Structure 1
């Protein structure tokens, strides 16, 4: 149970700190408010922290799309993949529940949002479904290229030791570009947790969840196949 437990904790942390930064620190104005850059770094730094905290145990996927790419790259078994995904989804839901409880204690000004992903009229930059789908596919593909690239066995110990920083910073730049498009998912569990817990106040997020499952899996799948086939694996 070590690996699923680690994945549960890692995904819990990502949702609590990443979505928490967007909803708690991202609301309002003044010295306690952050902007897109602050939210982007919250997600990225959460990944960096967990990469070194649980990485030695499970590899710190904390993302069903990452696990899917790793599976297609031939680096994990189907059994482990299923366990990882279950743990990741449960961790994301638990993180959203804790965030909901915290926000419920706010006297005023909270609309019920939990950092849900979305698109269309009324959502951040109001991009359409095509823009949202393309962004999520491409961003997840590039995210997996970084992850699968820096974790190749042929890399030196020095490069492998910096993998968590490289992956976290990649997630930062993805958020800088994409927050106004979809809020940035590239992670079905991260989208599913807040959408389920916050369905009473934002049913649209759960109705749109299909995109944040399908698009990241497509992007991750393509990257996984490219590495699994040897086209992006380094020569040894």
Structure 2
């Protein structure tokens, strides 16, 4: 279990540092040309690289909504859910702390004023989208993220390609929803940067727990009920996880 939780810690650390770091450090400079597309790719690449690096240890969740969705789909034991989520949140916060230290090296940097890659709705949505629009986006995109994860890691899926498909799915999700919510679909990622933003991001943080978790549950249930031929881990995989 210690190895599994360590893998989740480092995977979430890398996701926040790489994904949010691209938004805070690189996208802030238009002359670099990274923009929304670059940030979307950065998030996808963090998951892709760490899924290949530590996926064989923990399953490469790096996201409380994914852990919850995999549990309801019968892919993760109930006893792993809370420890995984704790490790993910801590890993994300440490990643955000490192990002804050780096960003603070530039004169005039202010995490509160910059937003620090935080998620928001209404006046804090990058595109000014309403609460309802942001809530729908987070639920639907998280649910489909779970469908991709569950489908590509199914025992009948092509072996070795799951991290690539999952990373590309997260890239696509960001391309869709950066203008809407700055893209959460991950409560650990949202919590990590909201702590350093410190004001409106913390006030709106509940949305980026409730909606992604709801989406994860919906995606897991859809796959379990409609798309999977089994609700249990294959014996070999179950043994490896235990």
Same fold (TM over 0.5): yes
- Please name the residue that 1:213 is paired with: 209
- Please name the residue that 1:130 is paired with: 132
- Please name the residue that 1:98 is paired with: 98
Q: Partners of 1:207 and 1:109 in 2: how far apart?
A: 22
Contact 1:93 1:197 in 2 (8 A): no
Q: Partners of 1:105 and 1:97 in 2: how far apart?
A: 13
- Please name the residue that 1:190 is paired with: 189
Judging by fraction of residues, say which structure has more helix: 2
- Please name the residue that 2:220 is paired with: 224
Contact 2:103 2:109 in 1 (8 A): no
- Please name the residue that 1:120 is paired with: 122
The 1:205–1:59 alpha-carbon spacing in structure 2 relative to 1, beyond 3 Å, is same
Q: CA deviation at 1:113?
A: 3.2
Q: Partners of 1:140 and 1:123 in 2: how far apart?
A: 18
Please identify runs of 4+ aligned residues in structure 1 that moved more than 3 A.
108-113
- Please name the residue that 1:145 is paired with: 147
Q: Please report the TM-score for the alignment, with normalisation by the length of structure 1.
A: 0.92
Q: What per-residue deviation string (whole Å, max 9, x for no partner) do you get for residues 134-186 of structure 1?
A: 0000000110000011111232xxx1300000000001111011000000000
The 1:152–1:114 alpha-carbon spacing in structure 2 relative to 1, beyond 3 Å, is same
Q: Please report the TM-score for the alignment, with normalisation by the length of structure 2.
A: 0.90
Contact 1:138 1:219 in 2 (8 A): yes
Q: Partners of 1:232 and 1:122 in 2: how far apart?
A: 37
Matched residue of 2:175: which SS? helix
Q: Partners of 1:25 and 1:162 in 2: how far apart?
A: 29
Q: Are 2:228 and 1:233 equivalent residues in the alignment? A: yes
Contact 1:154 1:234 in 2 (8 A): no
Q: Point out where structure 2 has 5 or more consecutive residues left out of the alignment.
A: 231-242
Q: CA deviation at 1:193?
A: 0.6
Let me know the Cα RMSD of the aligned residues. Answer: 1.4
Q: Point out where structure 1 has 5 or more consecutive residues left out of the alignment.
A: none
Q: CA deviation at 1:196?
A: 1.3
Q: CA deviation at 1:29?
A: 2.2
Q: Partners of 1:122 and 1:6 in 2: how far apart?
A: 33
Aligned length: 227
Q: Partners of 1:65 and 1:183 in 2: how far apart?
A: 17
Q: Are 2:91 and 1:107 equivalent residues in the alignment? A: no
Q: CA deviation at 1:77?
A: 1.4
Q: What per-residue deviation string (whole Å, max 9, x for no partner) do you get for residues 77-108 of structure 1?
A: 12111110000000010011000011111023
Contact 2:139 2:212 in 1 (8 A): yes
Matched residue of 1:76: which SS? coil
Matched residue of 2:25: which SS? helix
Contact 1:27 1:33 in 2 (8 A): no
